[in-house]
């Protein structure tokens, strides 16, 4: 009779143990606090993606560099269109030469002059236009850099949300593992378990504590990545307001490809380089047309009888007899051919990069749908059935733990699949621009092409 009562008490303890994680079997959502160890006394305002983007636009140093590159190109355009400075001077001829009476004379002629080079054929206008086009290319690169920063912030934001969800899952697993140790100890005490079962339960509990520490470290790393991308290393531990699950219809290949080829700043930059090289060809073609140099000024002629006031005037041009800028014109034309080919090359490489990103997107989306519609509901159902069987003494407690562990492992995999989906989605929607802390590229020097980015 005593043994029967002990068994009934033991089953009651087991049921209470199982009942605790049953309520936690729902798919874990982001905690409202958003940090591993929130303080109940502290209630900081949450940060949204919009807040983080605004902070990054103020604090990310690469955006300052991109803006400075625009100023550099505009300054070059200003300088290239400035007219040459005039030259003023004094001239004298035959100073100190003895005159007819044997006396030194003040010279045959003395006076001042002013010399000015007159630039012809619109050279200054074309030179300025070339650098103005370079400034436009720098503006396109600044826009691209802003997209890189925003996209990286989105990815870092989703990494933090994923880490938060994993922390929640692993906290539940640690609780359940600790409950399993207690239950096994009770089973050993009443002769229903053995020492190997207890040792295995303790090993599982220790492993779950290590796994929890790992995901907490992942959270801290993700949080630091987000802070550095924003440009605020001392970002306060404010909670993040957002969701990991995507909303809206799935992306379509043809639509995204068309949008990429039309809106990509990388292609727009290459097209701006083509226009710049076209202007350069025009500029080099007019280079052989000589500029006109004029010089004139008043003076005095000291020949007898003197001094007599007079004016001096000169006009000169350089004759393009041998050097007609032939080599530079050919080089400019070759650069233009290369620039046209660069546009075509970029279109091809963007298609390939989009194909890679879209493959990752479709794979992650299929995985997310499977977890959401089949794997998670099925594993949860199996977990609940094992709980029911255990209550009816038709299943052993370790089977309940295995089903529970399987469900939470699927929950982890589901969170990671969501992160993969969000990463690929962000890249595709963000025109494949990532690398918000890389130095923003400037205009391509004449005769050179930037190294193409490695496909991901």
pLDDT confidence of residue 99: 56
CB 289 within 8 A of CB 361: no
In the block, residue with structure tokens 């990509």: 264
pTM of the model: 0.79
CATH number at residue 422: 1.20.1600.10
**What's the pLDDT tens digit per position in 209-257?**
999 999 999 999 999 999 999 988 777 777 788 899 998 899 999 999 9
pLDDT confidence of residue 305: 67
Please tell me the chain's helix, strand, coil percentages from 3-state DSSP, rounded to the nearest 5. 65, 10, 25
d(CA 244, CA 234): 25
In this structure, the answer to whether residues 168 and 307 fall within a common structural domain is: no
pLDDT confidence of residue 191: 81
- φ, ψ (nearest 5 deg) of residue 130: -60, -45
pLDDT confidence of residue 34: 39
In this structure, the answer to whether residues 169 and 294 fall within a common structural domain is: no
Residue 20 lies in a domain: no
In this structure, the answer to whether residues 246 and 366 fall within a common structural domain is: yes
In this structure, the answer to whether residues 350 and 393 fall within a common structural domain is: yes
Residue 38 lies in a domain: no
d(CA 282, CA 133): 14
In this structure, the answer to whether residues 284 and 294 fall within a common structural domain is: no
In this structure, the answer to whether residues 378 and 268 fall within a common structural domain is: yes
Q: Report the chain (456 residues): mean pLDDT per 10 consecutive residues.
A: 41 37 36 40 67 90 94 94 93 65 61 92 94 94 95 95 93 87 85 82 91 94 92 80 90 96 96 95 95 89 73 90 94 95 96 97 97 94 88 78 87 95 96 91 64 40
Listed residue (114, 16, 134, 15) closest to 71, CA to CA:
134
Beta bridge partners of 94: none
In this structure, the answer to whether residues 114 and 246 fall within a common structural domain is: no
Domain of 224 in residue numbering reads as 51-83+133-288+328-456
Listed residue (57, 63, 237, 84) closest to 138, CA to CA:
63
How many structural domains is the chain composed of?
2
Residue 226 lies in a domain: yes
pLDDT confidence of residue 25: 35
pLDDT confidence of residue 187: 79
In this structure, the answer to whether residues 274 and 162 fall within a common structural domain is: yes
Residue 102 lies in a domain: yes
In this structure, the answer to whether residues 114 and 158 fall within a common structural domain is: no
pLDDT confidence of residue 26: 38
């Amino acid at each position: 009779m005593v043994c029967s009562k002990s068994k009934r008490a033991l089953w009651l303890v087991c049921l209470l143990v199982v009942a605790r994680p049953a309520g936690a079997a729902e798919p874990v959502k982001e905690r409202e606090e958003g940090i591993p160890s929130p303080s109940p006394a502290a209630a900081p305002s949450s940060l949204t993606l919009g807040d983080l983007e605004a902070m990054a636009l103020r604090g990310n140093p690469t955006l300052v560099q991109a803006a400075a590159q625009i100023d550099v190109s505009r300054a070059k355009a200003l300088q290239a269109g400035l007219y040459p400075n005039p030259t003023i001077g004094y001239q004298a001829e035959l100073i100190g030469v003895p005159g007819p009476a044997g006396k030194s004379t003040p010279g045959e002629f003395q006076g001042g002059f002013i010399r000015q080079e007159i630039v012809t054929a619109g050279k200054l206008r074309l030179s300025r236009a070339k650098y103005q086009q370079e400034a436009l290319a720098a503006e396109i690169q600044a826009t691209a850099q802003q997209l890189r920063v925003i996209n990286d912030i989105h990815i870092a934001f989703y990494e933090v949300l994923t880490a938060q969800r994993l922390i929640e899952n692993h906290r539940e697993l640690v609780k359940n593992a600790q409950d399993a140790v207690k239950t096994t100890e009770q089973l050993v005490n009443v002769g229903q378990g053995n020492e190997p079962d207890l040792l295995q339960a303790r090993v599982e509990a220790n492993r779950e504590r290590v796994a929890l520490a790992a995901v907490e470290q992942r959270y801290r790393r993700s949080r630091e990545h987000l802070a550095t991308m924003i440009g605020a290393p001392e970002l306060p531990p404010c909670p993040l307001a957002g969701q990991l699950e995507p909303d809206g219809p799935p992306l379509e290949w043809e639509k995204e490809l068309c949008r990429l080829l039309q809106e990509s700043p990388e292609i727009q930059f290459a097209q701006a380089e083509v226009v710049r090289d076209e202007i350069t060809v025009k500029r080099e073609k007019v280079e052989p047309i000589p500029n006109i140099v004029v010089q004139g000024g008043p003076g005095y002629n000291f020949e007898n009888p003197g001094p007599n006031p007079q004016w001096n005037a000169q006009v000169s041009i350089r004759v393009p007899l041998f050097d007609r800028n032939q080599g530079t014109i050919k080089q400019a034309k070759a650069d233009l051919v290369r620039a046209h080919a660069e546009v075509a090359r970029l279109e091809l490489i963007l298609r390939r990069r989009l194909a890679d990103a879209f493959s990752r997107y479709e794979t992650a989306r299929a995985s997310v749908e499977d977890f959401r519609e089949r794997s998670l509901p099925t594993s949860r159902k199996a977990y609940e059935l094992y709980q029911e069987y255990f209550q009816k003494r038709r299943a052993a407690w370790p089977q309940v733990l295995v089903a529970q562990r399987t469900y939470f492992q699927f929950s982890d995999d589901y969170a990671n699949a969501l992160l993969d989906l969000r990463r690929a989605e962000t890249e595709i929607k963000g025109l494949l621009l990532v690398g918000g802390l890389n130095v923003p590229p400037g205009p391509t020097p004449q005769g050179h092409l930037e190294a193409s980015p490695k496909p991901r």
